[in-house]
Amino acid sequence: MSADRVISLLPAATEIVCALGLENKLVGRSHECDYPETVKQLLVCSYDRIGTQLTSLEIDQKVKQLLTNVLSVYEVNSQLIKQLSPDMIITQDQCAACAVSLPEVEQVLSAELEKPAQIISLQPNSLNGILDNIREVAIALNVVNVGDELLEELQERIDIIQHKLRFIEKKPAVACIEWLEPLMTSGNWVPELVTIAGGTPVLSQAGKHSPYINWDDLREQDPEIIVVMACGFSVERTLKEISTLLQLPGFADLQAIKNQRFYIADGNQYFNRPGPRIVDSIEILAEIINPKQFIFGYEGEGWIKFEV
């Protein structure tokens, strides 16, 4: 089936479609799809049930409350989707707090759409899973060769980092913070990104969901490097709540703080979007972990060093 009218309800999927050179096929997007800049002109097919002015703790509480009653923290505009008459809808079936859920999309398809539409559901939990999703979308959109070229380019960038680090023996312990309150570390593919960038991930496991941790866990681990990459938060948004960490007892005594190896990264545009820019995320970590070996130019926008 030819897919000339595509709705993406996942920012990473929107980026994949555009990276494949098929932005012209997009007719609708989620409220969070904002890259590349030109996709902002597309009609918005979902909205947030939570709001944007809450603190990390309030968001966490609201998400847990909502998910006891609904399928996800986002809702689709079923009437608009019906009007757009898509051939394909791309969503995810991994995290109810990350994007419109697969069951919600299936409800819309069964109740609203007047013609069949293909559903592509992305649910990666590893770097290879992300790359496989890019290939899956390329196949679904009949641009296999373009997909192969994109994947080859991404792999070359990964290989460059690994090749440059092949003789670097020191691999500092790196804790990646995905949420400020309650405290969470970054799981899924992020530990793999840390490893590729020359670090040793701590307090989370590759391929496993991001875990809640206790403050004492972080203090006991005492990592050499801490990177805050709060999910859905820009650097500026994270800075508004960074005092949540700074006020924890003994925070200033951590070696990462003493040695000025505490960083804040853009967890909205990078790290938490399983699309082509996941390789940008590896490059950001490479700059942070091995600044003498790598300068890709992300500092100041993609990440900053925060001095306590």
Domains 6-149 and 170-305 agree in fold: yes
Residue 193: what pLDDT? 98
Instruction: State how far the Cα of 276 lies from the Cα of 66, in Å rounded to an integer.
Output: 31
Handedness of CA 201, 205, 211, 212 (dihedral sign): negative
CB burial of residue 181 (10 Å; 0-12, 13-18, 19+) = middle
In this structure, what token pair is assigned to residue 207? 């391929």
Tell me if residue 81 falls in helix, strand or coil.
Answer: helix
The model's pLDDT over 242-263, given as tens digits with 9 standing for 90+, comes to: 999 999 999 999 999 999 999 9
Q: What is the DSSP letter of 297?
A: S
- Do 104 and 72 form a contact (C-beta atoms < 8 A)? yes
The pLDDT of residue 246? 95
Burial of residue 234 (number of CB atoms within 10 Å: 0-12, 13-18, 19+): middle
Q: What is the pLDDT of residues 120-178, one digit of tens each?
A: 989 899 999 999 999 999 999 999 999 999 999 999 999 999 999 999 999 999 999 99
What is the model's pLDDT at position 73? 57
Q: What's residue 1's pLDDT?
A: 54
The domain ranges of the chain are: 6-149, 170-305
Q: Distance between CA atoms of 287 and 6, rounded to whole angstroms?
A: 36
Residue 56, pLDDT score: 82
Check residue 308 and give its pLDDT: 85
State the Cα–Cα distance between residues 139 and 133, nearest whole angstrom.
10
Q: Could you give the CA distance from residue 290 to residue 259 in angstroms, rounded to a whole number? A: 14
Q: Which helix (H) or strand (E) holds 278?
A: helix 278-289
DSSP state of 87: S
Write out residues in the chain with pLDDT < 70, as ranges.
1-2, 49-52, 60, 62-73, 94-114
Taking the model in full, what pTM does it have? 0.92
Q: Domain 6-149 class? A: alpha beta
Task: Collapse the DSSP code of 141 into the 3-class scheme (helix H, G, I; strand E, B; otherwise coil) and give the result.
Answer: coil
**CATH number assigned to the domain with residue range 170-305, chosen from the 4 options 3.90.1300.10, 3.90.110.10, 3.40.50.1980, 3.50.30.50:** 3.40.50.1980
- Please tell me the predicted confidence (pLDDT) of residue 40: 97
